[in-house]
Homo-oligomer: A and B are copies of this chain.
Amino acid sequence: MTDFKVIAFDADDTLFVNETYFAEAEEKFCGLMSDYLSKQSISQELYRVQINNLSTYGYGIKGYILSMIEVALAISENTLGVAAIEKIIQYGKELTQKPIELLDGVAETLEALHGRYKLVVATKGDLLDQRRKVHNSGLGKYFHHIEVMSDKQEIDYADLIQRLEVKPEEFLMVGNSLKSDVLPVLALGGHAVHVPFHTTWEHEKIHHQIVHPNFYNYSNIQEVLKLVP
């Protein structure tokens, strides 16, 4: 048993459904652009532009939609009707209004940990959108605060842990992304739980296995409770 002081939870696809909604939006976008290219090519191009724009826009819905508009202009070679652009903007607004679907075991886990550890949300994405989701999920009461991180690399976690005024070994991160929630935290000497979600965004995939004494792979978030007294 380790004496954790802070337990941080990723939000999207760890606490509640997210990737599913982005996949739906992408599906609609591919439909909208189907006169120009195959679904697969559109998806590839969207992914390429999104990654290319990450350093400009960061993560989240607004940057996603701006990238979508950019792709729409590019693959239609500027012949697209503006009505299509209007639709893309609408996809974005719809994304900000999606219902919050808690993942299995989340509420029970937070209820059990609340009051015993400082719980924070550590997430990428749009600040306002993440606040809205945590608030509307009813989970806000469990968290000390929300950390919206511009990225989730080692340096970002180092900053976070320093700001939280704990030692890395007192920090436990729980999330669905091996790349963003697990590897950088382990590298710093922290602990990390991976709870996979059924869909993983291409950008978050890694292709090797993790073996580490501070790493825990669980199928349900409630198993986190095994790590605490």
Contact = CB atoms under 8 A, between A and B. Distances in A.
Nearest to A126: B58
Interface in A75-97: 76, 78-83, 85-86, 89, 92-93, 96
A73 B85 contact: yes
A91 to B, nearest CB: 12
A96 B66 CA distance: 14
- Size category of the A interface is 20 to 34
Question: Taking the full assembly, how many copies of this chain does it contain?
Answer: 2
Most buried by B among A58, A83, A129: A58
A104 interface: no
B145 A163 contact: yes
Nearest to A88: B69
Contacts of A145: 159, 163
A85 B73 CA distance: 8
Contacts of A73: 82, 85-86, 89
A145 B56 CA distance: 21
Given A57-B128, A128-B150, A163-B144, A92 B66 contact: yes
Given A73-B85, A82-B79, A89-B70, A131 B150 contact: yes
20 contacts: A56-B93, A57-B96, A58-B127, A62-B63, A62-B66, A66-B89, A66-B92, A69-B85, A70-B86, A73-B82, A73-B89, A78-B81, A78-B82, A78-B83, A79-B82, A82-B82, A82-B85, A127-B127, A145-B159, A145-B163
